Every structure is written in C-alpha cells, then in structure tokens.
Structure 1
Amino acid sequence: MYKIMLVEDDIMLCSMIKEHLEKYGYTIYVVKNFNIVENEIYEAKPDLLILDINLPYYDGFYICKAVRKNSSIPIIITSARSETMDQVLAIELGADDYVTKPINLDIFMVKVKSVLRRTYGEYASANSNNSIGYLNLDEGNFQLSYKEKVVVLSKNEYKLIKLLMENKDRIITREEIFDTLWDSESFVDENTLTVNITRLRNKFSEIGIENIIKTKRGIGYIFDYSVTKGEKNE
C-alpha cells in the first residue's frame, strides 16, 4: 500500500486526516519537526506528499518548490486560502492538486486516489524512453535531455511532454490535455493549463530549445520539433 507523508501543524486536523487515510489502508507518516521538513520527507520517501501552506518556519509554497527541485513525488496542497492566485501558484510550483479548508473528507479522498492512480496506477505509463532526434524523454529519471543539457521534470510535466512528443506535428486540443493530466474531480481551469504550458516552455528553454510548443488559439497546442533543425518557425 502507498506511503503518504502528512505535513500539517493543526494537531486535530492532522489526526483526523491521518485516521481517515488509515481506514483506506494507507501508511501515514506525520512530520514532527517543522524546522527540518525537507529532511523528514527525503528520509521517509513517501509516495504522496500532503502539504499545508501555513506552517511554522517555512510555508508550504517554499517546501513544495524545494522538494520539486529534486523529486517528482506527487504533492497535494491543503490550505484555507481559496483565492485563485494561491491555487495557480501552487500548481506553478509543482503541486499536482489543491484542496481548500475546511476539508471535505469525501472529496479529499477522491483527490488522493486520483493523484495516486495517475502517478502509479492504471493511467501511469510504463517505464520507457521516448526520443525524437537529439531530444530524449526518460521516465526512469523523469528527465528531459537535448544534446548535452538535462532538466528534471515533475510527473505532470513528463506526462504533458510525452503527450506532445507522441503527437508531434498534430494539434493537441485543450480537452485532450485536460483528460491526460487531470480528471473531472481535480482542481483545474484554463489558468492552470496555461501555467503548465508556460512551465514546460521554460523547461525547453533551459535545454536550449525555443518555440517548440506553438499555441493554436482557441484550439490547443502543437509540438513543432522542426525548430530544432533550423527550419522556419510559424
């Protein structure tokens, strides 16, 4: 069964969530020392991180960003903040989903199961390498490389790049991307998709590729690998 790390400083809420998750057979690790949260996460090696925003010492946004630099572990943010920009920021920093407080445990469980299913279950891809020319997508290490340059990807970034690479030179509709990255129960809107595409473009920029993801206004996106060959861009 999956191991879940719970980072929540509200003792009563933490206990309630822990008890509820354990009913479903999950193994729960609760962070004790909020001054060394990152260390506890790396030592426990959980399959899922449930991370509150308002924490002692370091807030959840900081921890999410720090974890995402070195790990593709799925992250669900929990917070009393319901503003759209907070939710967009969480997704931009690498979170997979966002749950607002007070937490509805039924909805919360749907999100937990959905994230785990997308990451490890029936919707997860088998380990494989996907290459187009010098561009290589490695699921084993969640890395994207081009010639000598390499960047680490989150799970959603990997899935989105894989979708685009497998359908290069064909328009991928926004609906197809929604179906691949999220499901109807997850937090998602147009801003979330735009943020994910922007992050992906930044990843390509880091390895020296510009304008490889073209926007088809009102429809979706197209992966134009020809830009790596010096051909004329749109």
Structure 2
Amino acid sequence: MNKILVIEDDIKLSSFIKEFIEKYAYNVVLINDFNNIETEFFETKPDLILLDINLPYSDGFQLCRAFRRESDVPIIFISARSSEFEQIRGLEMGADDYIVKPFSFELLLAKIQASFRRVCGEYKSSNGLLLNKKNFEISINNNVLELSKKEFQLLNKLVLNEDVIVTREELLEELWDETFFVDDHTLTVNVTRLRNKLAMLGLLDVIKTKRGLGYIYQSKVLIL
C-alpha cells in the first residue's frame, strides 16, 4: 500500500484529505510536529508527499529542496498561492506538480495517481507486480509475461483502481469503442484468460468477481 505524507497545518483540511484518499487504498500519514518535519519525513519513508508552502516554523519551498537532496519521492504542492510565479518556483524547486487551493478531492486523487504512474514510466502494484505499457509485459520477481493488448488494458484498469470495485460497464467502455458491439461474455472470457496468465506468475485469485457489480484487484494474496 503506497504511503502518502501530508504536510499541511490546516488540521481540518488535512483530516479531510486523509479521510478521502484512504478510501482508495492509500496509507495517509499526517505531520504531528511541525518543528521536526524533516525528522518525520525520514521516519515515515513516504512514497509521495503533499506539501503546503505556508507552514509554522518552515517554508514549503525550502522543505521541498531539502527532500530533493535526499529522495526522488514525488512531491505535490498544495497551496493558496495561485500566481504563475509561485507555481513555476515550486516546480523549479523539484516538485512534480502544484495544486492551487481550493481544489476538489477528485482532482487531488487524479494528480496523486498520475504521479505514481509517471515513476519509471511503469506502474507497480502493492504486491510488486510491474506493468510495462510500452510492450504490454508484466513481471514479478524477474519473471516476465507478455499480455495481449486487451488483457493489458484490462489489468491496467484494475490495478490503477486497486482495492476498488470496477464495474463491468466501466471495463467494457475502457476496452472497446462504443461503436464496436461487444457482449458481456467477451469481457468474461478476457478476465478468465488474464487470471490464467497471472496464475502463471504465481498470482492466485488477485482478480475477484463481485457478483452483480464487477471486478476488484486485490494484491494481498499468496504469491507462490
């Protein structure tokens, strides 16, 4: 489960962020001591940072620079400073993105997911399964397997929504153009083929059927 460190002194906002983001299977950690932010950063070892600029005892820009000296973890500024100059400055300090307050939590989630996807140009699920969009290959523990384009698109959609149910309608829309008629059985066949290929890598029962709803990718399973 990816860990997100929220460095935001607005307690109400940080609590709302934590409550919303954790619905999507992220582990969200809030800063407790604004006098020792860098210490908490090293202790937390986050996979991504949400960073305010105006902080007690600290400046977000300088913190970003300090983090960059030690880590390449994705950093997203969340700030009420809306000028183009401030946004450019944030990016020049090493941030990956900049969101201006007020913002929607849906936009924040999209920015977080995009930042994780940009890392290495690949997507890695929490059980170590690596998806390579360039050649439709998946791998785990150096074992590599090639998927068809449809199988890869299907797995990619499920992994990006890990631990969240994806409806059959969403998957049909993702995989096939609306001008191309596909019946429900076609999706079932593709899911079965994908499950069989994942089993070849030792991943058993990671794609679960939610009757009447759709499918869910859950990686906390036995890897043989």
Residue 65 (structure 2) aligns with: 65
Secondary structure at 2:63 match in 1: helix
Residue 94 (structure 1) aligns with: 94
Q: CA deviation at 1:120?
A: 5.8
Q: Deviations over 1:71-116 (max 9, x none)?
A: 1111000000110010000000000000000121111111000001
Q: Which aligned pairs between 1:1-234 and structure 2 lie closer than 5 A?
A: 1-119=1-119, 122=122
Secondary structure at 1:35 match in 2: coil
Q: 4+ residue stretches of structure 1 with deviation over 3 A?
A: none
TM-score (norm 1): 0.51
In 1: Cα distance, 2:32 partner to 2:47 partner: 18
Q: CA deviation at 1:119?
A: 1.3
In 1: Cα distance, 2:68 partner to 2:9 partner: 21
Residue 152 (structure 1) aligns with: none
Cα gap change, 1:56 to 1:104, in 2 (>3 Å): same
TM-score (norm 2): 0.54
Residue type at the aligned position of 2:112: V
Residue type at the aligned position of 1:52: D
Unaligned runs of 5+ in 1: 127-234
Q: CA deviation at 1:59?
A: 1.3
Q: CA deviation at 1:122?
A: 2.5
CA contact (8 A) 2:51 2:76 kept: yes
Residue type at the aligned position of 2:107: I
Residue type at the aligned position of 2:74: P
In 1: Cα distance, 2:8 partner to 2:103 partner: 13
Q: Deviations over 1:4-25 (max 9, x none)?
A: 0010100110000000110001
Aligned length: 125
Unaligned runs of 5+ in 2: 125-129, 131-224
Secondary structure at 2:36 match in 1: helix
Cα gap change, 1:45 to 1:56, in 2 (>3 Å): same
Residue 205 (structure 2) aligns with: none
Percent of aligned pairs with the same amino acid = 49
CA RMSD of the aligned region, Å?
Answer: 1.6
In 2: Cα distance, 1:122 partner to 1:41 partner: 25
In 2: Cα distance, 1:120 partner to 1:44 partner: 22
Residue type at the aligned position of 1:13: L
Secondary structure at 2:107 match in 1: helix
Q: CA deviation at 1:118?
A: 0.9
